[in-house]
Amino acid sequence: MKRDIDGFPYQSYIRPLVNENELMVRSEQFYQEMDSRRTVREFSDRPVSLDVVKNLLKTAGTAPSGAHKQPWTFCVVSNPDLKKKIREAAEAEERKNYEERMNAAWIQDLKPLGTNWEKPFLEMAPHLIAIFKKTYGKEGDHKVQHYYVNESVGLATGFLLAAIHQAGLVALTHTPSPMNFLSKILERPENEKPYLLIPIGYPLPETFVPALQRKPLEEIAVFY
């Protein structure tokens, strides 16, 4: 049902009631599903159709955002030449990070993850999703204010990672730094700043991930 409230259009919120037993089952199942998500760094070159990627991005676009400004742009890079350019630029920065810019504690913290400056996944994965945050919007020539941009884009990224996992694919939340090279290579407008670079695809058929433990609930939650 539609109605006007304070002169703005509203519609009924309709969602079937879930009883207490079902809540328990569904919340446990979703937790188990999400707990099986892992960051993967070794991608198969097996193709993933763009239609699948479009669905994943539509899910990302359902995230809440400050004043519903939806301050994000998802750039999907599937073209091998562009992927190569991105790899080369990312590796140039990462080489400096690993060899000069990161301190000893940081290098030590990354050892269990087995990362280094080489980023072959940026060419191997069938698609790279470069996420940009829109620091402000544009309507014609005038600027539109955006709010809580980092929080909003972070939420959309979380939705995207969940969608990728639920579909049966893997992703890597990659943070080449600095990453202004992405703005240049992808020719993004001045109001967009690179946020994260997310290769997605199938994992290599035989791949290993670090045997990490997640913090137990007692360490991440406080009940008052």
- Three-state secondary structure string covering 80-142: HHHHHHHHHHHHHHHHHHHHHHCCHHHHHHHHHHCCCCCCCHHHHCCEEEEEEEECEEEECCE
Nearest 5°: the CA angle 20, 22, 25 is: 115
Among 177, 183, 191, 207, binds ligand IYR (CB under 6 A): 177
Three-state secondary-structure class, residue 217? helix
| Closer residue to ligand IYR, CB minimum distance, 52 or 171 | 171
Instruction: Tell me how far apart the 2 most distant CA atoms of the chain are, in Å.
Output: 61
Closest distance to ligand IYR from the beta carbon of 66 (Å):
26
Closest distance to ligand IYR from the beta carbon of 112 (Å):
10
Among 75, 94, 164, 198, binds ligand IYR (CB under 6 A): 94
Contact range with ligand IYR by CB under 6 A, out of 23-31, 51-59, 109-117, 183-191 = 109-117
| Closer residue to ligand IYR, CB minimum distance, 62 or 150 | 150
Closest distance to ligand IYR from the beta carbon of 101 (Å):
10
| Closer residue to ligand IYR, CB minimum distance, 115 or 135 | 115
| Closer residue to ligand IYR, CB minimum distance, 22 or 99 | 99
Whole-number Å distance between alpha carbons of 155 and 27: 19
Question: For residues 5-16, b (16+ Cβ closer than 10 Å) or e, as one string?
Answer: eeeeeeeeeeee
The site string for ligand IYR over 137-176 (x = CB under 6 A, - otherwise) reads -------------------------------------xxx
Cβ-based neighbour number of residue 126 at 10 Å: 22
183 binds ligand IYR (CB under 6 A): no
> Footprint of ligand IYR on this chain (CB under 6 A)?
94, 97, 110, 113, 115, 174-177
